[in-house]
Chains A and B, each alone.
Chain A
């Protein structure tokens, strides 16, 4: 692994664009209370207003300020996204690395579980469970992580299998290092770039899923979410409100996913070095 992830992203045009978009979104999410002029939950009698100086993107059917909701929606989206990214990468690393190092029956069991999860479409399980429990943010993060670590674990295991044959690992073993020490000091650090790619795709999947579930109306209705805003806007599609209600929300969601796609694509040579030097202009 002598490919620097930082350089890959910096040298790729879309990679840089993606990074800028993401930083912008994170900025909006963090500074939401400063940017949003209204409380996103504050209802008023002024419903379905067109855009004006007071309400940049108008108001929705219960008189909430759409711009403020859009800004706070970034928080939900990114919180779920990054939460799932971190947790599912962590799970993938734990199971992938342990499967590679322990081997034997344990490895077989873990990898067959991974296979089973990869084959069955995640979305229908998520929908089924969400329909029962209407998950809030924390539950949703947990749910999406538990169903989303398997793909990463497969890649991580494959890489860890080759890493554990390296000389320095044998050397460490000959000094009496135990499995935990080897995993933590020698395998995981070398997995770095792969973990980052896995993380980015985990975030992207979660952002998409969160919006999708809210769009179906089966996640916690008290949380401001882009998906829910689009669902509400769609039911008023016979009015012209979609111009300032549906489109900005959809664009915000799409931009976030595009940012993640660009960064992920720029980082992909880490997994497949033969793709290198292609986008460099």
Chain B
């Protein structure tokens, strides 16, 4: 009965208990419960949410687009920015610009995303009122077309900014580290001796080779789409899967939590596989290995 929390025991009557036992099939042996779970899983059945009163799959699918939009945008921005900053910084290593960028971005790295989110929320929404306080859409606004798009973007801006800032540093540090080791490679000397322009040296020869670890990392991050935005979604009450997880935790809606967990695990595996497939494109040496 722990499934509803101790509070449920107060309201427990024998009839209710019998009803619950039957509803959750608690009188069946464990292996049979698991077997049924597993079989229905293959039919795309993730269970039924007793808090939202809908199937878990539909609850999660309803939230997924918002998370994908939020995390996708910020991941793209932080990866591209991180790579560019990392290349520039690594190229000028030891210089004043490099040291300032390094110290600045590492400090930024120390700010937890929910604290960044709260600061942005209080500054831009509470104090200045430029951006909306919460949610992903203005409720009952009846907007459509361009108005709707602007409304979505307005709600998206602060959460994306918080996530991008919080994750900028890891891509930057990785690129910069690889950049430094790549710049010491003999082929860089050859390229320089050929008289290639600085831009080609920096981006095509050194930069491209410094991207590999960042792509891996972005991929790992992509696998954490669902959980990565959890804190930020909570601060902005953004209706994504992270916020759903939080709501489900508060409501003890275990089927939903289980469903989220399963989807996270599967998406992580799929994305890891996709990253492995993309390696040879970035680094042809990989396909010659073995």
Contacts and interface: CB of A to CB of B under 8 A. Distances in A.
B126 interface: yes
A275 B180 contact: yes
Contacts of A265: 106, 173
A36 interface: no
Nearest to A257: B110
6 contacts: A120-B268, A218-B249, A237-B121, A254-B110, A278-B94, A281-B99
Interface stretch (A65-73, A122-130, A179-187): A122-130
Contacts of A237: 118, 121-122, 126
Interface residues of A, number: 43
Interface in A236-254: 237-238, 242, 246-247, 250, 253-254
B191 interface: no
B73 to A, nearest CB: 20
B264 interface: yes
Nearest to B252: A131
3 closest A-B pairs by CB = A258-B110, A257-B110, A250-B115
A124 B118 contact: no
A253 B115 contact: yes
B234 A216 contact: yes
Interface of A: 13-14, 119-121, 123-124, 127-128, 131, 208, 211-212, 215-216, 218, 230, 234, 237-238, 242, 246-247, 250, 253-262, 265, 268, 272, 274-275, 278-281
B106 A13 contact: no
Given A119-B223, A121-B268, 11 more contacts: A119-B272, A120-B264, A128-B261, A208-B112, A212-B231, A218-B249, A261-B107, A272-B177, A274-B184, A275-B181, A279-B102
A268 B173 CA distance: 11
B249 A216 contact: yes
Contacts of A262: 106
Contact of A127 (B118, B228, B245): B245
A35 B121 CA distance: 32
Contact of B102 (A14, A255, A272): A14
A14 B101 CA distance: 12
B126 A255 contact: no
Given A253-B112, A265-B173, A274 B180 contact: yes
B102 A121 contact: no
Interface of B: 93-94, 99, 102-103, 106-107, 109-112, 114-115, 118-119, 121-122, 126, 173, 177, 180-181, 184, 223-224, 226-228, 230-231, 234-235, 245-246, 249, 252, 257, 260-261, 264-265, 268-269, 272
A256 B107 CA distance: 10
A258 B260 CA distance: 32
A14 B181 contact: no
Contacts of A211: 112
Nearest to B181: A274
Contacts of A218: 249
A267 B226 CA distance: 32
A253 B111 CA distance: 8
B58 to A, nearest CB: 21
Nearest to B115: A250
A253 B231 CA distance: 15
A20 to B, nearest CB: 14
Given A216-B234, A254-B115, A121 B110 contact: no
Contact of A128 (B118, B257, B269): B257
Contacts of A280: 94
B165 to A, nearest CB: 12
A66 to B, nearest CB: 16
Contacts of A250: 111-112, 115, 118-119
A118 to B, nearest CB: 9
Contacts of A253: 112, 115
B181 A121 contact: no
A253 B106 CA distance: 15
Contacts of B93: 278
A195 B105 CA distance: 25
A82 B111 CA distance: 19
Contacts of B114: 212, 215, 230
